[in-house]
Amino acid sequence: MSRIERVGFVGLGNMGGPMCGHLARAGLEVRAFDLDEAALGRAVDAGASAVRSAADCTDGAEALITMLPAPPQVEQVLLGDGGVIGALAPGSVAIDMSTSSRAVGERVWAAAAERGVDVLDAPVAGQSIGARAGTLAVYVGGERRVFERARPLFEVIGDPARIFHVGRNGAGYTVKLLLNLLWFIHSVAAAEVLSVGVRAGVSLDRLYAALVGSPANSNFLERDLRMVLDDGDYDEAFPMRLVTKDLGLAVDLARDVNMPVELTGLVEQIQRRARVAYGDDAGEISVVRLYEELAGSPLRLGNDAPEP
């Protein structure tokens, strides 16, 4: 099984840009494309070669990685006019690291099979900070032999201890949607609990310390929420338009497998309210702002008054 040395990379946003940079700095030959000239320039600064189209990324590529906002962009880049599946050489690998849908994936897998191109769905988790640090978790769906061939690329982009082969094609998309769903549920639950406690007169600092030290603790509460509680940062690197996109895909997935998800439906509507209130580009934890407004004060640590 030949080592992948030449890679195409399409999609250089807050996540894709750093991911592409890690591959280039690791010594791989990377041809990169994005519609944003500034993003393309940053990839060049990291050592990638800029090309004029997505299809140009396939020239000599043994693997082509896409990191795109949503299923329509994934389908357009992979299967549309000038799509990369039709340009990739037989025996190469198309790796979609976007959060996308199984429906689009099925069309991609069928087209790739006709070309003799292998496909992996390999979405990531870890926020933009993880993309910059090269510590992302990667959830991969596809044949084991293809996964093993691509593993060295994932180990450059992410944490080698958190690279998971989760099943056949589509399993990566499914796991990532469910991971995001649980994270968005946590964001609503944590905002509700903290705002109720503050309104009831409990110090936020002491309530937060008690929750983190309790059986109800979570990674979201202990780590991810701190950017809001410490700095009022709602994480604009991942905007609300993508939050609601992912929640819509999760609802579609549940419908496809005929599973009732009442809590998911409620959380989706609360997150959509946050998007309407604060805008498409508001940060992914903006739902906390809804509860801060209801509580009448921002939820910030470090303001604990001494006991009388």
Q: How far apart are CA 169 and CA 141, in angstroms?
A: 4
Catalytic choice (22, 149, 176, 289): 176
**Residue whose structure tokens are 């609503």:** 188
Q: Residues 1-5: contacts with CB within 8 Å, 24+ apart?
A: 1/145, 1/148, 1/149, 2/62, 2/149, 3/152, 4/28, 4/62, 4/63, 4/93, 4/149, 4/150, 4/152, 4/153, 5/29, 5/62
Handedness of CA 135, 254, 249, 99 (dihedral sign): positive
Q: How does DSSP classify residue 258?
A: T
Active-site residue, 245 included: no
Bridge partners (DSSP) of residue 64 are 8, 94
Rg (CA), the chain: 21
CB 220 within 8 A of CB 186: yes
Both structure tokens of 20: 């592409």
Q: How far apart are CA 46 and CA 21, in angstroms?
A: 5
Catalytic residues: 176
